[in-house]
Amino acid sequence: MRLGLTWKIFLGTALVVLIILASTLAVTSVLAGRAADTAVDRGLSQTNEQVGQHLRARDQGLANGAKVFAQQPAFLGALERSLGLEDYSSLYDQSREASQQVGAAWVQITDAEGMRLAKSDDAGAENSDLSESSLVGGALEGEDKHGFGLAEGQLFQAVAVPVRKPGGVEARSE
């Protein structure tokens, strides 16, 4: 079958238009993908910065709150009495009070060797050795420590601050 000149011109023109259209779509798709990737990267970067600012502010708030609480005369007196009598029941109340004042989910109080004396969300918490924890260990050495942990499948932000009196006891809020 032979095609006439009109059909040859029509098919040739259609083929050229199809090639130009496909090329335009391909280039547009690549450019749109790059633009989308750039926008996503920019959005993720901004979100990352905002989350970082929020976490730093939360960390600073926890640390400042824990430091203030750890230096309150009522807390220091209760701690001194509890250590002297080796009766840590009042420290549970102090840990709950600290948790509320600091805005922490829970607070732990340890002795100068890192043994847990009280935990605000567990009245029956065992006296566990927490000295190997980098947070508690650092506070026992007199440093403010900051970090994150994982408990019961949940990520949490934590700070540990030293208690200067009596005898280097450490309070930890998380």
Runs of H (alpha helix) within the chain: 5-70, 73-85, 89-102, 134-140
The Cα 48–Cα 55 span in angstroms is 10
Residue 146, beta-bridge partner list? 159
Query: Which pLDDT score is estimated for 165?
Result: 63
pTM equals 0.70
Q: What are φ and ψ of residue 133, in 5° steps? A: -65, 135
Site of tokens 């499948």:
153
Q: Which domains does the chain have, with CATH numbers?
A: 7-174 (3.30.450.20)
Per-residue pLDDT, 168: 46
pLDDT lower than 50: segments of the chain: 166-174
| The pLDDT value given to residue 161 | 92
Amino acid in the structure at residue 40 = V
Number of Cβ atoms within 10 Å of the Cβ of 78: 18
CA distances from 172 to 15, 79, 140, 165 (A): 75, 14, 10, 14
Residues with Cβ within 8 Å of 138's Cβ and at least 6 positions away in sequence, in order, are 144, 145, 160
